[in-house]
Structure 1
Amino acid sequence: MKSRASSLRNMILAALFVALVAVGGQISIPLTPAPITLQTLFLMLAGSILGARWGAASLLVFVALAAAGAPVLSGGKGGLAVLLGPTGGYVFSWPVAAFLIGWMVEKWGKGGQIKAWQLTVAHIVGGIILVHAIGFPWLLAATHMPLHEAFMGAFLIFLPGDLAKAFVATAVVKALYKAMPTLQMQK
């Protein structure tokens, strides 16, 4: 029965994170070529809280909803045209990023509390480095922007906000783990 209850709990939390990532896209600061949103904050939280499998699953559902035309992307956008556009690589990276974050948290968190620096590293590696490693080349290929222009306008400008989101995600996860210790052990 515990396994069934745990699966139900994970499904509910995964659905919650699909909704949070969607809402995070509606809170945006429009920049070119991509807006600043809270979506990457919620993907970091999904990986940390749900773990590798369920975190990735929640973001796969999100990408499927976006592909189907649901208005879940920044500014209420959705559909294949948006996903296959210049910023699509970033969105396609999100399930992989959530998986990597969850995997790192699961490995480092075995047998006890995960340290804040470990969470922060997981958020930076999965939620920033991996997302940009997949999204940035896609953006370059789609826009044919000069490399230095794309680097400044599609990476460097986002770095301070991305780092802030990584630290916020760490603080939120540590607070949740403290308030609900079983949350860390049930992945």
Structure 2
Amino acid sequence: MSNPQAAVARPAVLGDLVPGRLVRDVALVVGAAVFVGIAAQISVPLPGTPVPVSGQTFAVLLSGAALGLNRSAISMAMYALAGALGVPWFAPGAPSGWHFASYGYILGFVLAGAVVGALAARGGDRSPLRTVLTMTLGTVLIYAVGVPWLMAMTHSGFGAALSMGVRPFLIGDALKVLLAAGLLPAAWRLVRR
């Protein structure tokens, strides 16, 4: 018979290593939202698309893996809502509010963060291969929400939305996935879990 206390004591995600549950959870949720906001400031506008290249998706994927499903979903929802209400932490040049063309990607952060967090809690960030699969799925989910929103806001077809909102970002997103595949398993090795 397994020991239920041993299963509870073992951290499921990196964020579980921080002591003090309520204070830890609040700090992690707010901290991850701020982290994504700071990463958004690393932004390069691209010609022909209203969606800039930014550090946001990398921060979202790392936050999802580090926080787990619930904390990540709350954090990304906080990020999206606060930005829509005027907190200036979206990528530079992007208008605030829910009505601009790339806001669908920000809404996709909530879904991606939650799914990446759920998979990380099941070991999806413990090896490079698992991390690549987890982060790739998270990236696809961001696109899955962002592209239809982009289509609606720009009145464009699917092909045009792919040209504006996916193709220019594939290489950068692949590099972000590979970087996460190096960082997350290494973090687990450092904490010897």
Match of 2:137 in 1: 125
- Between the aligned partners of 1:121 and 1:36, the Cα distance in structure 2 is 22
Q: Is the 8 A contact 1:25 1:76 kept in 2?
A: no
Amino acid at match of 2:182: A
1:66 aligned to which of 83, 102, 106? 83
Q: What residue ranges of structure 2 are gaps of 5+ in the alignment?
A: 1-8, 10-15
Cα RMSD after superposing both structures: 2.1
Amino acid at match of 1:57: I
Q: Is the 8 A contact 1:44 1:123 kept in 2?
A: yes
Please list, as runs of the form range in 1=range in 2, the aligned pairs for 1:2-41 lying within 5 A after superposition. 5-31=20-46, 32-41=49-58
1:160 aligned to which of 171, 178, 183? 171
TM-score (norm 2): 0.82
Q: Give the structure with higher Rg (CA).
A: 2
Q: Is the 8 A contact 1:120 1:166 kept in 2?
A: yes
Q: Is the 8 A contact 1:123 1:166 kept in 2?
A: yes
Displacement of 1:76 in angstroms is 6.2
> Taking every aligned residue pair, what percent have the same amino acid on both sides?
26
Query: Secondary structure, in 3 states, of the residue corresponding to 1:157?
Result: helix
Displacement of 1:79 in angstroms is 3.0
Query: Secondary structure, in 3 states, of the residue corresponding to 1:158?
Result: helix
State the aligned residue count: 175
The 4+ residue runs of structure 1 with deviation greater than 6 A are: none
TM-score (norm 1): 0.85
1:170 aligned to which of 181, 184, 191? 181
Asked if residue 55 in structure 1 is aligned to residue 72 in structure 2, the reply is yes
- Between the aligned partners of 2:95 and 2:110, the Cα distance in structure 1 is 17
Match of 2:128 in 1: 116
- Between the aligned partners of 1:60 and 1:181, the Cα distance in structure 2 is 31
- Between the aligned partners of 2:103 and 2:62, the Cα distance in structure 1 is 21
Displacement of 1:55 in angstroms is 1.1
Displacement of 1:122 in angstroms is 0.8
- Between the aligned partners of 1:161 and 1:48, the Cα distance in structure 2 is 19
Bigger proportion of residues as helix: 1
- Between the aligned partners of 2:28 and 2:20, the Cα distance in structure 1 is 12
Amino acid at match of 2:135: H
